[in-house]
């Protein structure tokens, strides 16, 4: 493990940490970075790690001590769910009720409750050309009711991805509104996963409880 990589990560992490209030959970997004970086982060005191791919997440999570907490935030492929339910503590990208059913039965089988965020599509206009995943806010009530009835799932909140080249404020305002709507159906689902390297400070203004930060800490991919 190189000392220079260690000090590079420590400095970037300290800078990001200084901009996040203590009550907010920082998820360090370690996708594409080696397990040695995750070990450095662990030694620096980080416990929450985010991955977009099952294969990477399942391998890296095996290398880390038991008290590390793993977040799956990538597009869900149904055939990967059995593995994802094994290694992930939180799934952030739930947006399909058939995936919810499958997660619930796999979690029942594994004797766990799988914590899930419902992903909300924050695009201003949702049409067949929408690239981004997530359900529309109009679908949230019925989706949440259906998911809440599933024995293997605990819905913990909402997740969203801000726009790439536009003001993220309207998007995070929508996410905050979705959170309030969700809590009418599921009062305990208070978490908001919003904000990445480029926009986490704005997400915090709109009540984010979890931020997912990769490149500001680990460098560009
Ligand atoms: C990659 C990714 C992040 C982290 O992005 P950075 O710009 O590297 O901070 C956060 N959330 C999701 C869903 C991602 O795919």
Domain CATH code at residue 166: 3.20.20.10
pLDDT in tens, 27-36: 999 999 999 9
Band the pLDDT of 130: cuts 50, 70, 90: low
Q: What residues does 27 pair with on adjacent strands?
A: 212
Q: Please state the three-class secondary structure of 136-151 as a single string.
A: CHHHHHHHHHHHHCCC
CA–CA dist 118, 130 (Å, integer): 18
Q: Residue 111 Cα, ligand 1 centroid: separation in angstroms?
A: 30
Domain of residue 16, residue span: 3-218
The pLDDT of residue 1 is above 80: no
Query: How many domains is the chain partitioned into structurally?
Result: 1
**Ligand 1 atom nearest residue 212's Cα:** 10
Q: Residue 25 Cα, ligand 1 centroid: separation in angstroms?
A: 15
Residues with CB under 6 A from ligand 1: 29, 31, 52, 73, 161, 196-198, 212-216
Query: What would the mean pLDDT of 21-40 be, rounded to a whole number?
Result: 98
Q: Residue 149 Cα, ligand 1 centroid: separation in angstroms?
A: 30
Identify the pLDDT of residue 123.
Answer: 87
pLDDT in tens, 46-67: 999 999 999 999 999 999 999 9
pLDDT in tens, 171-199: 999 999 999 999 999 999 999 999 999 99
The pLDDT of residue 126 is above 70: no
Distances from the Cα of 150 to the Cαs of 142, 154, 201, in angstroms? 13, 8, 34
Q: Residue 64 Cα, ligand 1 centroid: separation in angstroms?
A: 21
The pLDDT of residue 43 is above 80: yes
């Amino acid at each position: 493990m190189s000392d220079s990589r260690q000090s590079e990560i420590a400095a970037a992490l300290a800078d990001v940490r200084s901009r996040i209030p203590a009550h907010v959970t920082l998820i360090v997004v370690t996708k594409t970075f080696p397990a040695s970086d995750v070990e450095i982060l662990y030694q620096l005191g980080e416990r929450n790690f985010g991955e977009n791919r099952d294969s990477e997440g399942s391998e890296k999570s095996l290398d880390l001590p038991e008290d590390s907490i793993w977040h799956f935030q990538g597009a869900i492929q149904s055939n990967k769910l059995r593995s994802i339910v094994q290694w992930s503590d939180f799934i952030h990208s739930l947006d399909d009720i058939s995936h919810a059913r499958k997660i619930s039965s796999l979690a029942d089988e594994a004797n766990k409750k799988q914590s899930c965020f419902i992903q909300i599509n924050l695009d201003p206009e949702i049409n067949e050309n929408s690239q981004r995943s997530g359900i529309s806010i109009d679908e949230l009530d019925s989706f949440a009711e259906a998911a809440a009835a599933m024995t293997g799932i605990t819905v913990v909140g909402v997740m969203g991805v801000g726009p790439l080249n536009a003001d993220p404020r309207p998007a995070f305002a929508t996410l905050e509104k979705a959170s309030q709507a969700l809590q009418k159906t599921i009062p305990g689902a208070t978490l908001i996963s919003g904000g990445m390297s480029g926009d986490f400070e704005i997400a915090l203004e709109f009540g984010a409880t979890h931020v997912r930060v990769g490149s500001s800490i680990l460098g560009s991919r």
